[in-house]
Structure 1
């Protein structure tokens, strides 16, 4: 069949390198901002936010270290209110997916530009996709306002990342790349990025889990996560839809992606020969789903959905919700088939 695609790459400035956090104030000023709200998670995130505040000086309108994974509606509303109270003209997101997710919610509601400083491998900073949770449901939107204007990648900020966080966020990013190889919206550019990201992660992620101070491997993982985030912009399919439904039930985001990845991959690859070939090449295997499962098993993170708190009696609900989305690429998935994937991952 003749190739047919649309490539729509949003504009975004990326500053990458060891010590690049020092350029934060310069990058904020470059956007014409003078009162930015720094958002982060509590604890370690709050300490990073304080560092950002010091670097920003009078350009910092305040620190809001209340980000929570999946961005519950109340958390989003509190962040939006704080940005308004502070008179912020922009948002600096310091941290991983939770901090960046909150910054996106604020940006969408308040039309404020974002400068993202990622400290994990979620890749969210490179995508205009944003999500919040309301009760047991996760609501995702695609909005240009959610795409950070500038990303500052400083591998030094990831040196203290614990092995479990490195592993889970890395596998989360790998899920973006794997799914990007079989979505209907894939393009030659997105597939090339996904393939390169997989090559980088396959080599570097085990290294940073074993030795968090491996600077070259940390930089490679951060570069790969950026590529994965761009790939995510192209579109999503069964894997991400399942993860979002599970996220609405409070399952941890990165760990959930990690657990279901080998199982969704096994289900889809027979219908995705190009993805199969690329993954065999980058993972140096004849069975990519098995290789991803082995990678998961070697990392110090939960291995099954029961370990992250999914009640077995919710499997039917998750399968029904995902089946309603009528996913067709690279193959359709019935409610019974989705239930089978979840049972295998349980």
Structure 2
């Protein structure tokens, strides 16, 4: 008997609802590697991954209908907001000429350290300083010939963890969001019967309760097998957290459910993708990419807004986490 779902979201080109389509596809598919296992597990869990159009993906065979699907789902609206002070830092990186990489980094660093702004948590200044200092003191991290010798922890400790810790500083926000590093799992995920340990959990700490606002997995290089393994772990853990949030929301309907998105990040070397998962209909969840960014590798990339784009991406992640806290207090 053909599998049917109750989402009732129909698009042309499919003879059934989107939920029924991905569920039937999953039940018919065979697994032979991490990628096929990922898409089968997503389909069996009522999850449609809109971010992946590769061969073997859920939407590979219906790519002509992707835009129609997005319109039918009315997916989460991602709003990007910049720090007002960012323009001043951007002006400095653009104003310096690039004759030698090292001299460019030193000039930018010196001028940024002398800049006066209203950035009380010093988030932008320290983010810019960190990136410039990595280039000055750890330039080997950007040597493509040495890529095989750089470990996951090299990227975590020397590049990403300082940036993430800087972004999630808190002066007046309550509850604060703390960065909890090192293969841990939330109690909510454990109670759901899943053993999923995350490299990083961004936790909203309230007086008597902790909520995972986002999870992050790291990898040193692009390995297809590890990518789909990490993505499945983050997707499933995020779905559990989303269900827990929605379960405790009074008067919830499908329209209200769409106002909340659980973010998660996959970081591979110098590349970072921010994803979200939302509930769009009964039993149907959507995973999509919200923002992609790369740690700038060259002076020209910094001059061409690469650093600004990086800070904006991490601010977007923080805003998504803060929205989860606000959602809980409604």
TM-score, with structure 2 as normaliser: 0.28
| Higher-RCO chain (CA-CA 8 Å, sequence separation at least 6) | 2
User: Which structure is higher in helix share?
Assistant: 1
Q: Which one has the largest radius of gyration?
A: 2
Q: TM-score scaled to structure 1, two decimals? A: 0.27
